[in-house]
Amino acid sequence: MTDRQRVDEERSLEVLNNIENLILEIVTCLSKDEAPALVLPNRSSWDNISFDSAIGLQMSSTSAVMTIRSDCPKTATTLSQILKILSVTYTLVQSNSYATKRDIYYNHPQLFGSQKIVDKIVDDVSCMLKVPRRVLRVLTTSKGVISGDLCYMEEDGTRIDCHSSSAGKGFPDVNSRLMVRKLWDVLHVPVFTLVDADPHGIEIMCIYKYGSVAMSFEAQSLTIPSAMWLGLLPSDLERLQVPRSALLPLTKTDENKLDSLLKRPYVTDQPEWLKEMALMQKNRLKAEIQSLAAIGPDFLTSIYLPNKLRFGGWL
């Protein structure tokens, strides 16, 4: 048995024991004619978050909690949904099998009502049990893609060749963040982010680098604190004289997002980021990566990226 397999087995036993203890508490309450309740960490509040520049956003050990009670009309359904997820998880871990969150929803659509509820509760349970979601044997369909001179072996022996015409894109899901973190840990490669020059692009970069509030309890395995902002920088738009016709005005939603980013605890550690965001705020303009095509159809791949990587210019 490898060290990884040994750790996974220990965690699986821990999950089973923790679920058994939770169910025992509920049964004990019922036997005493008391209303069962579960206590969950509040994953949505910045008040529960601490910041460590070497790790990123972390859930505080003294984080505020939410109590989910069976005798409260607002939370009774949520309690039954959590118990169902615990039941499914227990079966998966015990049988060493896997299920997707989509599977769970479609097996019990009337109970959960929507896929989003399943997604949230699975993460709540993961946080409550203090284990990564993968230990619960609940999978998600990855939204990210990978491309490049890389081959690796899955645990089941499947060989994956990453040569393709795709690239990582979109809002970072957990699988994509785990993969990038793994590459950083194992290969010690520098990590650069290329995102749109808008508040939402900046947030995507921040999540890869520092993590998110909702998944702060898994920061140790998800964040890449050394990740660098390669582009598209707001200052690049001026430096490269990107045509005004290729730029877009910030919307009210963009401005609110930018204001929120400026209040994040990690921004004070990044004075160069502050300058870039202040420039965006001043000019009230944003741009997609594709805006560089207004300079030349292959400007991004032939000039912008090679020069950035060769001569610097990242933050």
CB distance 224 to 185 below 8 Å: no
**Tell me, what amino acid is at 294?**
A
* E strands present in 94-247: 99-100, 138-139, 151-153, 159-161, 192-194, 228-231
Which residue is listed with tokens 């050990």? 61
CB distance 69 to 238 below 8 Å: no
CB distance 100 to 139 below 8 Å: yes
The residue among 262, 213, 247, 206 whose CA lies nearest residue 229 is 206
Is 106 labeled as catalytic in the residue annotation?
yes
CA–CA distances in Å: residue 222 to residues 158, 219, 249: 23, 5, 33
* Residue from 90, 105, 106, 208 carrying the catalytic annotation: 106
Question: Which residues are known catalytic residues?
Answer: 106
